Amino acid sequence: MLKIVINGCNGKMGHVLTETAEKDPGVAVIAGIDKNIERFRNKFPVYENINEFEGNADVILDFSRPEALKSLTEYAANTKTPLVIATTGLKEEHKQYIQEAARHVPVFLSANMSLGVMVLKEIVKKAASVLGDDFDIEIVDFHHNQKVDAPSGTALMLADTINCQLKGGKRFVYGRSPESGKREKEEITIHALRGGTACGEHRIIFAGHDEIVEIKHTALSKSIFAIGALKAAKFIVQQEKGLYTMDDLANH
């Protein structure tokens, strides 16, 4: 049985992950890390900091905030514990922590753990290779009004996927304003919508001469991210040290 620690266990996504893990006979949550220790009555001990945990875990799943990554990645590297990171809103310093940890342990990083988004990414890659040079590209992400980062990590991942397919020839524009002026050919425009309790929707629009291709993924609940995270956990514990993504899981 896979023994897991959930970093951010009492957050919204961490709580969903806990409930999903309880239904999976192949995993057991042995501890949680969260600043709000008393928010839920968990069946496992919860600590404020990962360094307070003295047990032995097979893997750590992180659904928290970027500020926790320094201590988390250092702990994973020091204890040789594989790590799954689903936290978004990462800055360059956070990416450096992750890359350093990946020199010592296997690290799985994805802005979106949905298996459907994994497929979406492949479809978008193909569309970009066929349409990208001749079509304008717009990306829209729509999330609940409590989401902090904008645009979403998934929107940025999709934009990066498209740009890589087009040899890096595009530049990102974040929304439009009266000062934006005419749209330029080399732009990929990313729009972030926030409202209500929307779980997450991403639309990629390829707009050409007299035709529009739109590709969309809608998340109807957070459980899809938890299912994907557990699949990632089962995958990463079998790998050698290094940095892995949903592409590696898809090709496994």
Q: Which residues are catalytic?
A: 143, 147
Number of H helices, E strands in the chain: 7, 12
Nearest to 232 by CA among 90, 110, 68: 110
**Which neighbouring-strand residues pair with 187?**
171
Element (H, E) at 160: helix 153-165
Question: CB-based contacts of 210: which residues, under 8 Å, 6+ apart?
Answer: none
CB 8 within 8 A of CB 33: yes
Angle between helices 153-165 and 115-131 (to 10 degrees): 30
CB 121 within 8 A of CB 172: no
Compute the distance between CA of residue 73 and CA of residue 94 in angstroms, rounded to an integer.
10
Q: Is 216 exposed, middle or buried (0-12, 13-18, 19+ CB in 10 A)?
A: exposed
Tokens of 206: 């390829």
- How many Å is the maximal CA-CA distance in the chain? 62
